[in-house]
Amino acid sequence: MFKFFGKQKKFSASQFKQKEVPEKLYNKCESCSEMIYYQDLDQNKHVCPKCGHHFSLKAYKRIELTVDLGTFREFNKLMKTKNVLDFPGYMDKLDKASKQSGLKEAVITGYGDIQGKRCVICVMDSNFMMGSMGSVVGEKITRAIEKSMKHRLPLVIYCASGGARMQEGIVSLMQMAKVSAALKKHSEMGLLYICVLTHPTTGGVTASFAMLGDIILAEPGALIGFAGPRVIKQTIRQELPEGFQSAEFLQDHGFVDKVVNRNDMRKTLYRILKIHGGE
């Protein structure tokens, strides 16, 4: 059944760790200002032990926390964008983003097992140009959906995005249509799609694949919305209510199935996958 893994090299977990600056010994919680010893934070999956604030996670770290050790096989790792609109300075900006984040683009995609349940998993990273969706993000996610159709595997997408990528203009907008149409085919085949909304999920990602999961989970406190709070404030010229556009707000308004603490996420994903059958 899984002979398609044959051709690919095996990676150990440490090999797909993102190149990054050495972690600080202590991190200050953005929410409660507590100084937390890095190892304590890491052990708690980057959730503040004092107040429960969910720190932002890099994509490979997220993979490490989600899939079984050594099971991740990345697709299209090197895919890079072209400057479709000849936007001045875009290529430099991409280079900078790449150096800063250790990523080639704002999403990584691949196969992975969650407690032995094989799936296709996509993880966005807001450290790369705000997790914006340009043609590479759209293409990588579409190809991942196609892989999951080809092998009839469930699909898990972790969203984190500021929206469409301005530098790719209208081409970026069209990625919303491309991914949504692929998800429709996926759905028609009776396959499971779970999305996990993390901080922040806004704009074109919210108006496409983030809202199309059969089951939509979200991390506590994540900002989720179509328009960003700044834009809304400008439009209505008043302060936004407390908690507006938080994961909990979306659950209350019927757009998120369940807010799940990061420490329970892997278990929750496993249970959903188990209930939907498969190996």
Q: Which of these segments, 8-16, 41-49, 52-60, 171-179, binds other proteins (CB under 8 A)?
A: 171-179
Select the residue interacting with other proteins from 28, 50, 82, 96 (CB under 8 A): 82
Least separation in angstroms between CB 55 and other proteins? 25
Q: Is 177 in the site for Zn ion (CB under 5 A)?
A: no
For residue 104, the one-letter residue type is K
**Using alpha carbons only, how large is the chain's radius of gyration in Å?**
18
Q: Is 239 in the site for other proteins (CB under 8 A)?
A: no
Least separation in angstroms between CB 214 and Zn ion? 33
Select the residue interacting with other proteins from 176, 260, 265, 273 (CB under 8 A): 176
Nearest to 127 by CA among 54, 208, 20, 24: 20
Residue 114's CB: how many other CB atoms inside 10 A?
24
Least separation in angstroms between CB 220 and Zn ion? 12
Alpha-carbon dihedral sign for residues 99, 82, 64, 11? negative
Nearest to 219 by CA among 260, 252, 251: 260
Least separation in angstroms between CB 87 and other proteins? 7
- Segment 12 to 31, residues that bind other proteins, using CB under 8 A: none
Task: Tell me how many degrees the CA angle 179-190-251 measures, rounded to the nearest 5.
Answer: 65
176 binds, among other proteins, Zn ion, none (CB under 5 to 8 A by kind): other proteins
110 binds, among Zn ion, other proteins, none (CB under 5 to 8 A by kind): none
88 binds, among other proteins, Zn ion, none (CB under 5 to 8 A by kind): other proteins
Task: Report whether 186 contacts 149 (CB < 8 A).
Answer: yes
Q: Is 35 in the site for other proteins (CB under 8 A)?
A: no
- Segment 44 to 83, residues that bind Zn ion, using CB under 5 A: 48, 50-51, 53
Q: Is 215 in the site for other proteins (CB under 8 A)?
A: no
Least separation in angstroms between CB 12 and other proteins? 30
- Segment 237 to 276, residues that bind Zn ion, using CB under 5 A: none
DSSP secondary structure letters along 167-225: GGHHHHHHHHHHHHHHHHHHHHTT--EEEEEEEEE-HHHHTTGGG--SEEEE-TT-BB-
Least separation in angstroms between CB 209 and other proteins? 7
Q: Is 189 in the site for other proteins (CB under 8 A)?
A: no
- Residues of this chain that interact with Zn ion (CB under 5 A) are 29, 31-32, 34, 48, 50-51, 53
- Residues of this chain that interact with other proteins (CB under 8 A) are 79, 81-82, 84-85, 87-88, 134-136, 138-139, 142, 164, 166, 169-178, 180-185, 187-188, 203-204, 206-212, 225-227, 231-232, 235-236, 240-241, 244-245, 253-255
